[in-house]
Structure formats: C-alpha cells, structure tokens
Amino acid sequence: MNSAANALLTTDEPAETGAQQIRDAIRDAIVERRLSPGTKLSESDVGNLFNVSRTLARAALQALSYEGLVSVEKNRGAFVAYPSPDEARQIFAARRLIEPGILREAAARITTSEIQHLRQLLLEESRLISERGQTARRAEIKASGDFHLTLAAISGNTIMQRFMEELVARSSLVIALYGQSTISSCGHNEHGDIVSAIEAKDLDHACHLMLHHIAHIEADLDLRERKGQGLKEAFDL
Amino acid sequence: MNSAANALLTTDEPAETGAQQIRDAIRDAIVERRLSPGTKLSESDVGNLFNVSRTLARAALQALSYEGLVSVEKNRGAFVAYPSPDEARQIFAARRLIEPGILREAAARITTSEIQHLRQLLLEESRLISERGQTARRAEIKASGDFHLTLAAISGNTIMQRFMEELVARSSLVIALYGQSTISSCGHNEHGDIVSAIEAKDLDHACHLMLHHIAHIEADLDLRERKGQGLKEAFDL
DNA sequence: AGCGGTCAAATTGTATACGATTATTTGCGC
DNA sequence: GCGCAAATAATCGTATACAATTTGACCGCT
C-alpha cells in the first residue's frame, strides 16, 4: 500500500513498534522482488541488517509467515516463500472468488473523489509501464497491486482489505516465479476499463472485466513444476 | 476444527512448537467462550498458566492478534478482542461475500464420503443442541462453526479455508458479545437444508440458503455492551 | 575409494535480565 | 475529606544468554 492509498482510507496508529517496521521493510523487498523466493532469512542476519536483536527479527519473520510471504521450518529457519504451482492456483482462485464481491461493494460506496484517486493511480501506472529499467518495473508491480488494494479500501471492509493485501502480495511472489512475459500487469488497460465500468454503474460488466483481468494475469503464468532449485519444495516439506 | 474434520482434509504437521500449542489453547478458550471479550491477557500470566516463559506467551498472543482474536495495545497489554458493532458487521459482510463462493467450489468437488461426513457433523450438532449444560453449549458452538469450516476444507482452497477459520472464530466472539437468543446456531436445521441442496446439485438454492443462514445469525445480534470475567477461571485453576 | 559414525560449527528454540512505559498508590497541601 | 504530584508497582519492549537441534566435516574402518 503506497502513501497515496494510505492517505485515503487506512486506519493505522502512528507509532509503529520495531518489529513492524522490519516486517514492512522485508515485505516490500519481497513484493518488489529484491528478495527472490527461496532466499534464506536467518534471524541473526536479519537482526544485524536492521541493527536489532534476534528477538525482533524473529517476530518480524513470524508475522511474515502468517501472511504467507515467508515459510518458517522448525529448527531450520525462515525462507522467502516459494509458492508451489498448486498454491499459485489457489491464490488466484481466491482472488476470483472475492474480488468481484469487493468490487460490487466498492462500487456501491465509491465517491467522486475516490474515482478521481483511482484515475490518478492509473495515470501513474501507465507512466511506469512506459518507463524502462528495473526500478520502474518494481514500481509498476507495486502500482498494479495498489489498484486492487485501493478498491478493497474503498469497499470499506477492513477485513477484506487485509485479505486482499495478503493475496496481492503473494500474487507478486507467484508472478516473480512463474510469470513468462516481462509485462507483469496485463498489456492492455484493463484497470482503466474497470474504473470506467464502475463509473458507468455497470456492475455486472465491471465484475466481468475483473474476472477476465485476473484470468489474464493467471494465463501469463507457466505453472509447471520447476525442479533443480527448490528440491525440498518439490517434495513439499 | 474437530478431530473428525481433521482426519478428513487438513494438512497439519505432527510436531507443533510450544507457542502454537498455547495459541491453539487460548483460541479454543476464546471460541468456546471460556474467555470473555475484553479479558486482559497478561504475558506473564499466560506464561505462568502454561509454565512457559513470557517469550512464548508473547508469540502466542501476537499470533492471535494477527487473527483478530486478541488486540494488543502498545505498552498496555493484550486483551481478548472486543469487536465493535461495526467490526461485527464487517465480519458478517465478509462471510456473506465469500461463503457462497466457497459453497459453489465445495459443491463442485464434493465426494459422497464427504457428504456422509457432513451429515455426521449435522447429527452430532443436533445431538448437542438437545443436550443441556454449559459444556454442551460450548461444544454446540464449536460444532456449528465446524460445519462452515468443513465446507471450506472441502472446497480444496487452503487459503480460503484459513480466511474462514478466522471469520468463524471472530463470529463466535461477536455472538458471545451481541447474541441475544440463547441458541447460538439458528434454531432451525439450516445446515441440513444446505447439505440437501448440495446433494441435489442445486447450487443456486444452496447459496441462497447460505446467505439466509448468515443473515439469520446476524439478525439475532443486539448491538450493546457487556463485560468480562476472569482469566484463571477460564482455564479452571 | 566408499561408507559409517562421531564431533564441531551454525542456527533455531526458549528462558532470563534489564530498561522503558503505563497504572496505581501514597503522601502532602489545601 | 479532596485533589494533585511524586514515588511505587506492574507490565511491556528489547536485548542477551543458554539449551536443543540440525548440518556439514573429519576421521577411521571395511
């Protein structure tokens, strides 16, 4: 969630404890693909990196494990999650299941200023798409997710919002692992079409577009087992 | 999730670490209403109760906070969550949003043995309803939730399953706080009707029944305030 | 050389210790 | 007696220390 979306609807208390900051930092690194799936996250290393004790590092890693972004194996350590193809399918199945509902709820409550905010997100997104470079690619990934998260925020249901945050973050991991085309968000302006449908109050069409949008993202994945890297994951331990 | 449902579909690893055991114990206590909303859960007290250090107690409380069952306030402590009326509405809104989707998915994949398992759950449930006593009431609460959780398990999507576990647990909290009728699960045999509709492959009707079922639970709520008991009594010391 | 076992290094699991923050009680003046 | 301030107690936030487990390596044996 970027600061713009933050300013819109979130309900976070100002004072963040140390572990949360570390958690957010690592999460951003994972979502922006600066940390590859399978990377080992030793408690000591994390603690040293952020100049805190292992206690806080451990707490942050535990929190990320609840979100499904890192997997902790008993007495072995924490690793950036390496979602299996089946897990990937479940993530997108979950998105297909809940995003239409969120969309309807959001469309029913959306204000003109929120529509404007969405349009601004789209603008930023297309600007990033046209840019070159790794950093632009990373920002694009984040922006693409922020569209869905903002929609969830507009829906007014903080629980669904949190579910979506998890799903979007994990989707980023899946795309990093299995995406084939370099373009992470679909080439077309599907987000814009959805906003237009919302604006036109054509909810059925908006949901239809959303489902297709998710399907397009998933269609870009090559969900075949990849061995030679995560051997342990291949035998699912 | 009871042992019967466990045997069917869950994917739990045998060895559980200490904090998880404590987390589960406290969660059960909350869901079964042995711990009232608002009860203070001091890290030291929890640690002493389970004969572990504050470290593990803290980890368990953090985990429960992520599930929304306890709220931790900075430098003040952890408390059994006291969901606001608005939070309650969001919880049931979320359930209305996702349970129909889960139901459709489950109905598409359900096997005859799973249907039989569901029927057995219903039998157990109605047996508990006819019984008297506090323990029967608690078991009934759990059984009522297990129906929904089993459906989620049958759907085959572990992510949605986890979401449902959180929503069902929090629903129990809401009902404990705001429920007015002594009957926690609806008086009628709505669960049974849903299973019948699934068996008849009438998905639309099943979803309709599910939505009404959730609406009935929500209609039994009265948004007013109540307060707590004690920690030690809940764990019968 | 290949195989098996024992030991050492590294990492996690848990407990304890200390500082910081909040709640409570005490004591004083009014 | 009542209200307010300072001391006291309780609790949380974080760091460090120790125990348990795993992993990899070294060494002797077949």
Same-domain pairing of A130 and A172: yes
Residue A74 and residue B98: Cβ atoms within 8 Å? no
| Nearest-10 crossing angle of helices A190-199, A112-130 | 170
Same-domain pairing of B42 and B96: no
Interface of B with A in 169-228 (CB under 8 A): none
Does residue A13 reach within 7 angstroms of strand C, measured from its CB? no
Does residue A18 reach within 7 angstroms of strand C, measured from its CB? no
In chain A, what residues touch B73 (CB-CB under 8 Å)? Answer: none
Is residue B158 a part of any domain in this protein?
A: yes
Same-domain pairing of A67 and A123: no
Nearest nucleotide to the CA of B72, by C1', is: D12
| pLDDT digit string, tens, across residues B45-101 | 999 999 999 999 999 999 999 999 999 999 999 999 999 999 999 999 999 999 999
The total of structural domains in chain B comes to 2
Same-domain pairing of B159 and B215: yes
Strands ordered across the beta sheet of B77-80: B40-41, B77-80, B70-73
pLDDT above 80 (res A120) = yes
Q: Which of the residues A97, A105, A235 would you substitute to probe the B interface, choosing the one with the greatest number of B C-beta atoms within 10 Å?
A: A97
Round to whole Å and give the CA distance between B73 and A106: 30
Q: Do the beta carbons of residue B108 and residue B201 sit within 8 Å?
A: no
pLDDT above 80 (res A152) = yes
Is residue A33 a part of any domain in this protein?
A: yes
Same-domain pairing of A50 and A134: no
Is residue B43 a part of any domain in this protein?
A: yes
- The CATH number of the domain holding residue B49 is 1.10.10.10
Same-domain pairing of A111 and A41: no
Long-range contacts of B202-208 (CB under 8 A, 24+ apart): B203/B103, B203/B104, B203/B107, B206/B103, B206/B107, B207/B100, B207/B103, B207/B104
Residue ranges of the alpha helices (H) in chain B? Answer: 3-9, 18-31, 43-50, 54-66, 85-109, 112-130, 134-154, 158-178, 190-199, 203-219, 231-234
| pLDDT digit string, tens, across residues B28-41 | 999 999 999 999 99
Same-domain pairing of B170 and B190: yes
SS3 A40: strand
Q: Do the beta carbons of residue A177 and residue A217 sit within 8 Å?
A: no
Residue B160 and residue A97: Cβ atoms within 8 Å? yes
The ipTM estimated for the assembled molecules is: 0.87
Q: Do the beta carbons of residue B83 and residue B37 sit within 8 Å?
A: yes
A186 pLDDT band, cuts 50/70/90, is low
**Contact pairs from chain A to chain B, CB under 8 Å:** 63
Nearest nucleotide to the CA of A16, by C1', is: D13
Is residue B124 a part of any domain in this protein?
A: yes
Mean pLDDT of B205-221: 95
Name the residue in chain B with its Cα closest to that of A94: B160
Does residue A96 reach within 7 angstroms of strand C, measured from its CB? no
Name the residue in chain A with its Cα closest to that of B101: A97
Same-domain pairing of B137 and B208: yes
Which residue range(s) make up the domain with B107? 85-219
Residue at which a domain ends, from A59, A80, A101: A80
Tokens, residue B144: 């009522």
Same-domain pairing of B22 and B105: no
Same-domain pairing of A89 and A135: yes
Is residue B96 a part of any domain in this protein?
A: yes
